[in-house]
């Protein structure tokens, strides 16, 4: 007996075995779920006889489309304060690096995050998570990185975990203490990296973080410093990720690949050598078009290079108060197409299959296949490409998490 059966729908399975169009489309399909897992999927006319009697509940979708629940694989939604003053400064001509060097930027959010209580951080982050969820997101990565000391970094991670416990949403947490050098360490980046490394075993024990991330950039940490962090974190069994080549090419993506990182993110300035290394290591290129847009950048990530080298591309919001105050994964998909000329099929893969790979959960999430979790987004659309096409319009009709309906619109 199945718990639920969805019929009269078109499926965008993201499973190549179904259809090698890059989306795994099945027109007039059906999908069944038991105990939160997919137990049957295929063309409706191949359903076993008397399947109406096989399911406790049948949902007739009247021609709607089903995709896997979307995955936002790069966010900083837990943070204190906003950065509207910097927005104004940039409109008047200052750039992101200048503001950061003048003590604004990440450090100003660090002040606000340290000052905020756990409850305050939670209340704000919950709204952001809900707004992502309203657009079909069922898995969300959340980074720390605005505490920059043990007490406040773990405060952010506890809030992130609590978001996952409070909403029907899977939260993957990432420890980004190596986001920038805190004031207490001024010009001692090496000393700060050592202080992070010292706490990694305790972090591992706490279970608060699934991955370790860093910001490899002139205004943050050098490849040498990141390498030291990656060695220690990798030895402890953490997944690795890296903000790399956002503002310049320091070879961060090559380093990420060398340590088998799940992803390297941003990558506007990435080299061909790094792209090749990423293919070898299976690292995903996480494309963050909202940060590119909001900072008014002109250098675009080399999408053709990733295509040519068959590097999987994910797309994410990078939701954060400084470079991407964007809570819409659908808008990120749209911008990936308009700015970077990714195809709607590539962006769709970027928020499902490849986003799952960037988080190391591709065995259970990111496509609709027998045995994977029943995370389904149900849309009133004519084709999945429509999800990359609209701006400021949300065609979500229903969201199913672990087989249960959690949103109906």
Backbone angles phi, psi at 11, to 5 degrees: -110, 130
Which uninterrupted H or E stretch holds 7?
strand 2-12
Residue in this structure with the two tokens 């205004």, named with its chain if needed:
219
Quick check: 357 binds ligand DI6 (CB under 6 A)? no
Residue 174 touches which member of ligand DI6, Fe ion, none, C-beta under 5-8 Å by kind: none
- 152 interacts with ligand DI6 by CB under 6 A: no
Residue nearest to Fe ion (CB): 318
Binding of Fe ion at residue 318 (CB under 5 A)? Answer: yes
Which of the stretches 87-95, 184-192, 321-329, 393-401 binds ligand DI6 when contact is defined by CB under 6 A?
Answer: 321-329
Q: Cβ closer to Fe ion: 297 or 318?
A: 318
**Taking CB within 5 to 8 Å according to partner kind, which of ligand DI6, Fe ion, none is near residue 105?**
ligand DI6
Nearer to ligand DI6 by Cβ, of 170 and 217: the residue is 217
Q: Give SS3 for 312.
A: coil
Return the range that interacts with ligand DI6 (CB under 6 A); candidates 18-26, 105-113, 274-282, 351-359: 105-113
* Closest to 65 measured CA to CA, from 400, 396, 403: 396
Is 390 annotated as a binding-site member? no
* CB of 116 closer than 8 Å to CB of 135: no
HEC assignment per residue over 156-191:
HHHHHHHHHHHCCCEEEEEEEEECCCCHHHCCCHHH
Cα–Cα distance, 29 to 153 (Å, whole number)? 46
Residue 179 to residue 189: CA distance in whole angstroms? 11
Token pair belonging to 128: 């952001």
User: What string marks each residue from 327 to 346 as x (binds ligand DI6 by CB under 6 A) or -?
Assistant: --------------------
**Contacts of residue 64, Cβ cutoff 8 Å, sequence gap at least 6:** 9, 10, 378, 379, 380, 381, 397
Return the H-helix or E-strand segment holding 377: strand 376-379
268 binds Fe ion (CB under 5 A): no
User: Token digits for 221?
Assistant: 């940490």
Please report whether residue 213 would count as binding Fe ion according to CB under 5 A.
Answer: no
When CB distances are held under 5 to 8 angstroms depending on the partner's kind, the choice from Fe ion, ligand DI6, none that residue 109 binds is ligand DI6
Strands 70-72 and 137-143: parallel
179 labelled ligand-binding: yes
291 binds, among ligand DI6, Fe ion, none (CB under 5 to 8 A by kind): ligand DI6
Measured CA distances, 353 to 317, 323, 330 (Å): 16, 25, 16
**Which residues ranging from 301 to 320 are in contact with ligand DI6 (CB under 6 A)?**
318, 320
At 369, give phi and psi (nearest 5°). -145, 155
Least Å distance, CB 320 to ligand DI6, is: 5
**Is residue 113 within the footprint of ligand DI6 (CB under 6 A)?**
no
Candidates 82-90, 114-122, 195-203, 315-323 — which segment interacts with Fe ion by CB under 5 A?
315-323
From the list ligand DI6, Fe ion, none, partner contacted by residue 65 (C-beta under 5 to 8 A by kind): none
Rounded CA-CA distance 7/293 in Å is 40
Closest separation between CB of residue 26 and Fe ion, Å? 35
Q: Which two tokens stand for residue 320?
A: 């954060």
- Residue ranges of the annotated binding site for Fe(3+) are 74, 76, 243, 318
- Residue ranges of the annotated binding site for 4-imidazolone-5-propanoate are 83, 146, 179, 246, 323
Interface with Fe ion by CB under 5 A: which residues?
318
Interface with ligand DI6 by CB under 6 A: which residues?
105-106, 109, 179, 215, 243, 246, 291, 318, 320-323
């Amino acid at each position: 007996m199945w718990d639920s059966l969805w019929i009269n729908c078109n499926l965008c399975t993201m499973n190549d075995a179904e259809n090698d169009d890059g989306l795994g489309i099945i027109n007039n399909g059906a999908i069944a779920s038991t105990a939160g897992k997919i137990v049957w999927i295929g063309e409706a006319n191949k359903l076993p006889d008397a399947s109406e009697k096989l399911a406790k509940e049948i949902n007739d979708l009247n021609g709607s489309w089903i995709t896997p629940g979307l995955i936002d694989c790069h966010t900083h939604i837990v943070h204190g304060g906003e950065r509207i003053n910097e927005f104004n400064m940039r409109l008047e001509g200052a750039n992101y690096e200048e503001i950061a060097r003048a003590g604004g930027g990440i450090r100003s959010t660090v002040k606000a995050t340290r000052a905020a209580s756990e409850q305050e951080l939670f209340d704000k982050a919950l709204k952001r998570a809900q707004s992502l969820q309203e657009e079909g997101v069922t898995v969300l990565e959340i980074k720390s990185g605005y505490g920059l000391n043990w007490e406040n970094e773990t405060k952010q991670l506890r809030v992130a975990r609590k978001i996952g416990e409070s909403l029907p949403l899977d939260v993957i947490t990432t420890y980004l203490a190596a986001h920038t050098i805190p004031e207490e360490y001024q010009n001692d980046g090496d000393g700060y990296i050592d202080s992070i490394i010292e706490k990694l075993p305790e972090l591992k024990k706490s279970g608060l973080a699934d991955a370790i991330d860093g910001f490899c950039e002139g205004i943050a940490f050098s490849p040498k410093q990141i390498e030291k962090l990656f060695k220690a974190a990798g030895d402890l069994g953490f997944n690795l990720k890296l903000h790399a080549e956002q503002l310049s090419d320091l070879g961060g993506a090559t380093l990420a690949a060398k340590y088998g990182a799940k992803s390297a993110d941003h990558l506007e300035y990435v080299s061909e050598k790094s792209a090749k290394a990423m293919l070898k290591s299976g690292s995903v290129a996480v494309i963050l078009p909202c940060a590119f847009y909001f900072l008014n950048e002109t250098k675009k990530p080399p999408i053709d290079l990733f295509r040519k080298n068959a590097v999987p591309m994910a797309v994410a919001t990078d939701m954060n108060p400084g470079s991407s105050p964007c809570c819409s994964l659908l808008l990120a998909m749209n911008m990936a197409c308009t700015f970077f000329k990714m195809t709607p099929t590539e962006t769709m893969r970027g928020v499902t299959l490849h986003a799952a790979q960037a988080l190391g959960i591709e065995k259970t999430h990111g496509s609709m296949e027998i045995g994977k979790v029943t995370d389904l987004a149900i849309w009133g659309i004519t084709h999945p490409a429509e999800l990359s096409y609209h701006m400021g319009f949300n065609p979500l009709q229903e969201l199913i998490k672990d087989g249960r309906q959690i949103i109906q619109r």
